[in-house]
């Protein structure tokens, strides 16, 4: 949809230009707070199953994935001091504006998942969810803002994510696919900003 792409490009470029001072401050904070790169890059599954590398500000210690799960649970010891703040206010997601400009993501759409969990989607649901570009925010991002805390109370966090959280998130993803429009995108962005604020 051309209008959606123009919408994404306009607001992503404008967002990066406006947020450059904040980006610079966060980058310096991350470098002083812990060893490692400023950005965290991870493989995610995009539209039509294409794999791409997502951009995030690094919020964990170096080589965190080698030291634990792919999901973050509760008071995860791998999270840095700066990372805890960035995660709380969703500022770690801002570099995904780069993914939007590159055409790998949209501002609004189903959140891109790692290949391991996408492989667990029911086939019909996977085809439907992956028929649109993944987004920085969506219905599920708003409703499951405290997902890490929720999983932190589970006896088996990974099992709880797969059996309880993932099915609900997939229902939100399917809802977005059926309702998507520029008006819906604009409403979701405003709702996300209000919730984060």
Cβ atoms 88, 113 nearer than 8 A:
no
Geometric angle at alpha carbon 92, from 95 and 87, rounded to 5°:
165
Residue 112, phi then psi, degrees to nearest 5: -70, 135
- SS3 label, residue 75: coil
Q: pLDDT band at residue 61, thresholds of 50, 70 and 90?
A: confident
CA 102 to chain CA centroid, nearest Å: 16
Choose among 127, 122, 101: nearest CA to 45. Answer: 127
Higher local confidence (pLDDT), 149 or 52: 52
pLDDT digits (tens, 9 = 90+) for 10-28: 999 999 999 999 999 999 9
Listed in sequence order, the residues at least 6 apart from 17 whose beta carbon sits closer than 8 Å to its beta carbon are: none
Provide the pLDDT for residue 10. 95
What's the pLDDT score for residue 134?
Answer: 98
**59, pLDDT greater than 80:** yes
pLDDT value at residue 154: 75
| Number of other residues whose CB lies within 10 A of the CB of residue 113 | 23
């Amino acid at each position: 949809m051309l209008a959606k792409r123009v919408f994404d490009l306009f607001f992503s470029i404008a967002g990066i230009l406006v947020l450059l001072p904040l980006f610079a401050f966060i980058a310096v904070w991350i470098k002083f707070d812990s060893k490692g790169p400023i950005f965290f890059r991870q493989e995610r599954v995009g539209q039509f199953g294409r794999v791409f590398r997502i951009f995030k500000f690094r919020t964990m210690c170096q080589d965190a994935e080698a030291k634990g799960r792919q999901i973050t649970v509760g008071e995860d010891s791998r999270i840095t001091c700066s990372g805890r703040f960035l995660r709380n206010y969703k500022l770690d997601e801002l570099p995904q504006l780069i993914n939007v400009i590159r055409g790998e993501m949209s501002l609004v759409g189903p959140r891109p998942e790692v290949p391991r969990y996408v492989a667990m989607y029911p086939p019909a649901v996977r085809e439907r969810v992956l028929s649109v570009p993944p987004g920085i925010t969506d219905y599920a991002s708003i409703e499951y803002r405290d997902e890490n805390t929720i999983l932190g109370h589970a006896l088996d966090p990974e099992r709880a994510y797969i059996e309880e959280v993932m099915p609900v998130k997939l229902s939100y993803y399917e809802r977005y696919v059926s309702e998507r429009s520029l008006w819906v995108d604009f409403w979701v962005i405003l709702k996300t900003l209000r919730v984060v604020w």
